[in-house]
Amino acid sequence: MRNYVSLSLETNLFFGRIMKEHSLFLLAAFPSKETAYIEKADWFRAEFEKLLERVVQLSNGMVGKSVLCSGEVVTEFTEMAEQQTKRLTGIPIDIQITQAEKNLQAGVGRNITREMVQQVRKINQRALWLLNGLIEFKERILQEVTSCRLYTANYPLLIEHIIREAKLYRQILTSLQQRGCMPMQDLRDTELFWNQIMMEHAQFIRGLLDPAECELIQTANAFSEDYCRLIEEAKAQECRATESLTRKTLETTGKYRDFKAAGTQGITGCSIRSVILPLLADHVLREANHYLRILDNSEKGV
């Protein structure tokens, strides 16, 4: 059960934080009159925060070095981005979780006990239950927004975007619970999914930057076009991604990650004009780091 425990904890470390932040972004974007939506989003934020706290408590010495070193769990900007977002929005954020994550030690989980397996299984079950509710909540928001019955500062595409990410998290946990392993997925399909995520990040960044940030807007737009081309090339492959396309995707994503890192530094340092929350900037950086690890592993045949 070693792989089950480590893969479950690694999955929840990354996606549990992502879901917590999705809930925060939803919460921050509602007008004050939408009290029911605000309360529901805040409930999911708090519950995923509790889940993440428990995952971190179990993860020391139980997760891979590549995950902890990838920058997908936390980055050098995460703690500052949380502090700033907490101050700007008034939304509570438990920064001690981030501090604990920064101190996590890698390990292979040699001393896996039956109790540890049971604890991890309960975490996965709790996460799946929360995910079902959060996905339903997001879909209801999307339906209301696109029917012009609800206002939010979030783009409808952003809501669709975070629904897809939540469904991927659910798919991975379901496979871990049923088969004890990650779902079997063709590399082409993985690249199609994450290239679309990366493309949409560029579109969101482009639309949330101040119009005066002409150079950054142009760079974001160029990355959007790059990923659009990668998606078209991947779709042209009948069954699987080719090595050359994966290398091209890896190179593009490495440059994109650097752009996001510079952007996060600029936003947390108040040198970039935008309506991007500091935590959102760090959020999309962590997702690029996660994708880079997936691509790097595929290159190495891991």
Q: Domain locations in the chain?
A: 1-64+107-184, 185-302
**pLDDT the model gives residue 136:** 98
Residue 110: both structure tokens together: 């040699």
**pLDDT the model gives residue 90:** 98
- Residues with Cβ within 8 Å of 185's Cβ and at least 6 positions away in sequence, in order, are none
- Residues with Cβ within 8 Å of 129's Cβ and at least 6 positions away in sequence, in order, are none
Tell me the pLDDT of the chain (302 aa) as tens digits: 789 999 999 999 999 999 999 999 999 999 999 999 999 999 999 999 999 999 999 999 999 999 999 999 999 999 999 999 999 999 999 999 999 999 999 987 667 899 999 999 999 999 999 999 999 999 999 999 999 999 999 999 999 999 999 999 999 999 999 988 887 777 788 999 999 999 999 999 999 999 999 999 999 999 999 999 999 998 887 666 678 888 999 999 999 999 999 999 999 999 999 999 999 999 999 999 999 999 998 867 65
**pLDDT the model gives residue 110:** 67
**CATH 1.20.1260.120 holds for 185-302:** yes
**pLDDT the model gives residue 234:** 86
Rg of the Cα atoms in the chain: 19
CB 261 within 8 A of CB 285: yes
What's the CATH number of domain 1-64+107-184, 1.20.1260.120, 1.10.150.170, 1.10.1530.10, 3.30.565.10?
1.20.1260.120
Residue matched to tokens 């510079």:
262
In this chain, the answer to whether the domains covering 1-64+107-184 and 185-302 adopt an identical fold is yes
Plot region of 109 (φ>0 → left; ψ -120 to 50 → alpha; else → beta): left
**pLDDT the model gives residue 27:** 98
**pLDDT the model gives residue 244:** 86
Residue matched to tokens 């934020």:
45
DSSP 116: H
CB 27 within 8 A of CB 42: yes
**pLDDT the model gives residue 187:** 79
